[in-house]
Amino acid sequence: MKAESDPTKWLPATSALQLQRPEYVYFRGEVRPWDEGVLHVSTEAVVRGLNVFEGLKGYWQENGDLALRSLPRHFARMERSARLLHIPVPVAYEEFERACFAIAQALARTDRDLYIRATLFVVQGHYGEGTVADLVLTGYQLEKNAPAPIEMGVTTWRRAVDTVMSPRIKTGANYQSARLARIEGRSRGYEDMVFLNQWDRVAESSAACVLLVRGGQVLTPPSWEGALESITVDMLDDIAGSLGIDFVRRPIDRTELYVGDELGLTGTLTEITFVRVLDGYAYADPPPVLSRLLKRYREALLGIEPHPAVDLVAVPLEAR
């Protein structure tokens, strides 16, 4: 049992944001002891929160391999985020892949899946002049099971507009509002919160995209409504099509959430997390459509039944 003062007590049991202290970090081009992953207090990464990042998930496969999901797609999205913040990317894809392999090899445990946070920190430069970035990889152990269902609310905070801080940019600075929403949610007994956009329509949650089911159809807000351009959503769109499930990207009103049949969150870390209750409105438990979609998605992730939408890269590991 966690102590009442534990700041992670509100996080799902599988959250990689729990206070883990891995043995190793990938920093300045190699795997080093955790304590050596240090940034100077004057860097733009620290002073202005200047970074872009990706979260990657590694799954143990049916055949015994450890495979990382969507490495090329995550690298491409990190490049897009960096481009929009004028951050130079110091590595090509091949070096990024080798770095991910190195930290996975150092931290892999056969009884746990692995979450890797790949971050480009701006370590030199000033207001865009002389900008230099460094790739830092941290890794965290996760339970192998799917995330547990949660209860949520709608936050009073709003998703930033594209001309202020685009949701298309996956940067730590974009998650300041997520932090405030989580704090608000804890005061109401909720584990996550849904953001509305400037038009008072659904954007996403504090850390994942929203899936709403109405009449057997899966609905999700498009990126122009304030949702991240999600790799997982693209995968689920294809998987849903192969299952004969309609998957539609369109604006969603707040009250549509309350009259929906099923509600879930999706992303690399959340996979498909079922929402039992939103602001006191209950949903199907278990949710039939989302359960079917999650089952097929996890079968692909674990190598039980591959799907062309789910791309996996095996990590070279020594015989264990």
Residues 6+ apart with CB under 8 A from 140: 16, 18, 20, 22, 114, 115, 117
CA distances to 55, 117, 143, 147, 238 from 68, in Å: 11, 12, 15, 18, 19
Contact criterion met (CB below 8 Å) for 102 and 71: no
pLDDT of residue 18: 61
pLDDT of residue 15: 55
pLDDT of residue 19: 73
For tokens 């970090």, name the residue. Answer: 25
pLDDT of residue 6: 45
DSSP 8-state symbol, 225: G
pLDDT of residue 20: 86
Contact criterion met (CB below 8 Å) for 298 and 62: no
Rounded CA separation 277/284 (Å): 9
Contact criterion met (CB below 8 Å) for 96 and 104: no
> What residues form DSSP beta bridges with 40?
none
CA dihedral 264, 226, 18, 141 (to 10 degrees): 70
Outline where 230-287 has alpha helix (H): 231-243, 254-259
In this predicted model, what pLDDT tens digit does every residue of 20-61 receive, in sequence order? 889 999 999 999 999 999 999 999 999 999 999 999 999 999
pLDDT of residue 132: 96
Single-letter amino acid code for the residue at 112: R
DSSP 8-state symbol, 93: H
In the chain, which stretches have pLDDT less than 50? 1-10, 13-14, 16-17, 320
- CATH assignment of 150-301, given 3.10.20.70, 3.40.630.30, 3.40.50.300, 3.20.10.10? 3.20.10.10
Contact criterion met (CB below 8 Å) for 84 and 166: yes
In this predicted model, what pLDDT tens digit does every residue of 102-139 receive, in sequence order? 999 999 999 999 999 999 999 999 999 999 999 999 99
pTM value is: 0.91
> What residues form DSSP beta bridges with 201?
253
CATH of domain 24-142: 3.30.470.10
Contact criterion met (CB below 8 Å) for 100 and 316: no
Domain regions of the chain by residue span: 24-142, 150-301
Residues 6+ apart with CB under 8 A from 219: 211, 212, 213, 248, 249, 250, 252, 256
Question: If DSSP states are collapsed to H, E and C, what string results for 24-38?
Answer: EEEECCEEEEHHHCC
Topology alike, domains 24-142 and 150-301 = no
Rounded CA separation 97/56 (Å): 11
